[in-house]
Every structure is written in C-alpha cells, then in structure tokens.
Structure 1
Amino acid sequence: MKAFITPLLFFAMTSLQAQQPSAVGEYYMHGVMETASAFALKDDSTFEFYYSYGAVDRFGKGKWHQKGDSIILNSNEKHISSFKLVKSEQHPGKDLTIKFSNPDRNLLSYLSCLAKSSKEQNFGRTDNNGIATVPMKSADSLYVVFELCPERISSFKVTNKNYFEFELEPWVAEVTFDNFPLRLTAKGLEGHHPLLDPNKVVLYERQ
C-alpha cells in the first residue's frame, strides 16, 4: 500500500504546483488617493518598485521568489547609511554647523539633523543652501535624515569638532526590502506598503 500511496501524493503535489498561477506581471496599487505605486515582477526573478507622492519619487529593486501564494521580496543591496561624511573640522564659534551637498540643489532644504551630547541634544534644519546650525558647542553623535525619505535615518559618532559636511548617497531615495511578503490573489497582490501605514492592507491590481 505504501508503494501505491507515495506516487499518488507525488502526482497530487505536482498537480497543485502546476495549478499555481505565475506571479510574473505588473501590479498597481489601488485605492490610495493622490499616490501612485507599483511592483513589476519579472520572469528572471527580479523585481522593480516605484512610489510617487509629492516632491520625490521612490524606487526599489531586487529579487523575488514565490512560496505557495506568498511572494517574498529582497533588495539586492541593503545600504546602511544614506549619507557620506566627507569633512569634519573645528571652526571658531559656539554652534555646530552641518552642511549638505547634492547635485540636485532642490533637495537641500529637506534635511534635518539631531545633535546629541552627554548633557544635551538639539535639532537643526537646513536652509535653501543645505546648511543647518545647531546651538551646541560640541556633540558626541549626529543623526541626519532626508525628510522626504523619513524612514532612512543615518547616525554618526563625532568628537571634538563643530563643522561637518555630508553628501547624499545616490541611493538616498531607494526603498529597502528585507523578506517583504505579499499574497498572490485572483485580483493581484495583497499586503502592506513599505512606506505607508503598516497596519493597512492594500491591493496591487494586476494589469
């Protein structure tokens, strides 16, 4: 009997796998006002993601794989920091100065930083030239963020300096996926959005 059941189970499993619909295709987010977002799952197991809302477009890419009706997304690279510290010096004065640079100068007024020491912490925001002034003589650490990508906070340990220059990395607007799950349905993909309310399930309709 065992020799008979085992082939039956094998053929049943093979049949179920064959009936599983292919996930390859393009899926567009549905039901979120004034926001455009989509996933493109390609037949070489790579994916592309985009999100457009307001002043900046976000993007992502990587590999996907299917497990039953689950689609799992992972970025090719998971960058630790969105900024590069290119200079730190001691200048005359009582404040901390943080200067940011980027080829697109329109982005320079959307940067914030938090300076911390063992005794205090203070906040600064850039002007149109990408310069932020923080009313502190020194700091032990700096936290910097591009406000249009608020989930990407970068931290730096600093000592005995009060002037800092940062560059925005090319991937500052990239969205990172780490075992991000979506569920394949008859209509498309269902799941959370990597940048929106984590408690809300959205539908990405298949085109």
Structure 2
Amino acid sequence: MNYLKQTFLFALLLIVSAANAQNVTGIFMLHGVMETAAGFQLLEDGTFEYFFSYGAADKWGKGLWKKEGNKIIFNSFHKQPLADFKLSSATKTQDKFITLRVADTLNRPYRYVACRLNDNEETTNENGEVRYPLDTARFLQMYHPIFSLRLTTLTLDKDKNSFLIAPTCDLSEVFFDDLSFSIGENEINAAFLPGSPDQPVGSRTFHFKKQQ
C-alpha cells in the first residue's frame, strides 16, 4: 500500500511539475543586456503587454499571444503602417524658404526627426520644424533615430513651400508580426530583441526570465 501511495504521489508531482513548466502566463524580464530594460506580461486571456527602455527611448507594445508546441507566437492588435510618416498638408506662402513641420494629430511637435531633402540634412527643432532653401529639390527622406530607423520617402509639390508631416502611428509602439519565442525552463527566448532598432537578427539569443 505504501509503495502504491508513493508511486501515486510521485506521478502527481510529475504532472504538477509538467503543468508548471508549460504555464507561460506571468511576467518575463530581459536578462543579460546592459543598459536595456524590457519585459512581457502574458495574461491568461491570451493578451500581452510589452515594454522596452534604452537611453531616451521608452517603447511599448500590446497584442495577442498563442502557444504552438514549444513556441509562443506574438502578434500586435493591428498591423504596422507601411511608412512612419505621411504628408498631411501642403501650402504656398510668401516665405523665401521651405518649411517642414512634423506634428501629430493633436499638433504636438516631433523633435529630433532626421530629414534629408536631396543632399541637405537637417533635424527638426523643439517646434518640430526644419527649413531649407527654396530652390532645394523636393525628394524628402526622413526617420526618427530614437524610435525607428525605417526610412520614409516623400515627394513634395514644387508649387508649395510649407509642408505639414504627421506620424502614421505612435512611433513608440513596438509591433509584433508572428514573432516567435522559444519556451525554456522558466524563460522565453528569441534571436531578436523587440524595440531595438539596430540589433541584427540572429546575432545573439535574448533571454526573458519568468519572475516568481
């Protein structure tokens, strides 16, 4: 009888241990990356929240997760726009220069946006503005070095000289598109660090440890 009882308890312990190993809900924090903080919260309803912080960049993400075998697949609630910026309006003024202003729908300016109009490179100031000579060609390339290295290309109307440009989304949002993490013992791992703009895919493995 004692032998059967011990066998039953041992089997029950194995079942509980296996269940705990497969329980991937909870908070997972990035380990082993200097000066960088990041973490996931995986909820039982299949949703997740993510944060990433490095230097001046504080980013976030939300979406759905699902377990497939020994992997977790992450997807944002919506798709990332094809470009980070769009042309909102263009007008002709009496100014003898070209003005670009970058602001969101609430008229909040975007500072530090890198802009290149042909070979002329400038960065938006605290008002979200940058100016160029009036005779500058109208092929514009731009990106926000803090949040994203994606290059947006716009062609500006030669008959206008004042342009309002808006972000197509919250540039601090981190997007997930079938991003796969492997499940380890009390951790999840990936070859890509979400939110890091200059991290080559596959250059290393990133470990997110489960918090007890």
**TM surpasses 0.5:** yes
Q: Which letter maps to 1:165?
A: L
Deviations 1:114-147 (A, max 9, x none): 234xxxx432211222211234625454333222
> In structure 1, what is the Cα distance between the partners aligned to 2:175 and 2:169?
14
Is 1:195 paired with 2:195? yes
**One-letter amino acid of the counterpart of residue 38, structure 1:** G
Q: Which residue of 1 aligns with 2:102?
A: 100
Name the count of aligned residue pairs. Answer: 186
- Report whether the alignment pairs 1:26 with 2:30: no
Q: Which residue of 2 aligns with 1:112?
A: 114
Q: In 2, distance between residues paired with 1:165 and 1:146?
A: 16
Partner Cα separation in structure 2 for residue 133 and residue 142 of structure 1: 12
Change (3 A) 1:74 1:22: same
Q: CA RMSD in A?
A: 2.6
Give the structure 2 partner of residue 171 of structure 1: 170
Taking every aligned residue pair, what percent have the same amino acid on both sides? Answer: 30
Paired AA for residue 151 in structure 1: L
Q: Quote how far apart the aligned CAs of 1:41 are.
A: 1.1
Any idea what SS the aligned residue of 1:149 has? coil
How far apart, CA to CA, are the structure 1 residues paired with 2:175 and 2:92?
A: 35
TM-score, structure 2 normalization? 0.75
Distance 1:110 1:79, change over 3 A: same
Aligned residue in 1 for 2:148: 150
Instruction: Look up the match of 1:181.
Output: 180
| TM-score normalized with structure 1 length | 0.77
Residues 54-95 of structure 1: per-residue CA shift (max 9 Å, x gap): 223100111111111111111111231443533212334564
> What is the aligned partner in structure 2 of residue 3 from structure 1?
none
Using the TM superposition, give the Cα deviation of residue 45 of structure 1 relative to its aligned residue in structure 2, in angstroms: 0.9
Look up the match of 1:205. Answer: 209
* Map of 2:5 onto structure 1: none
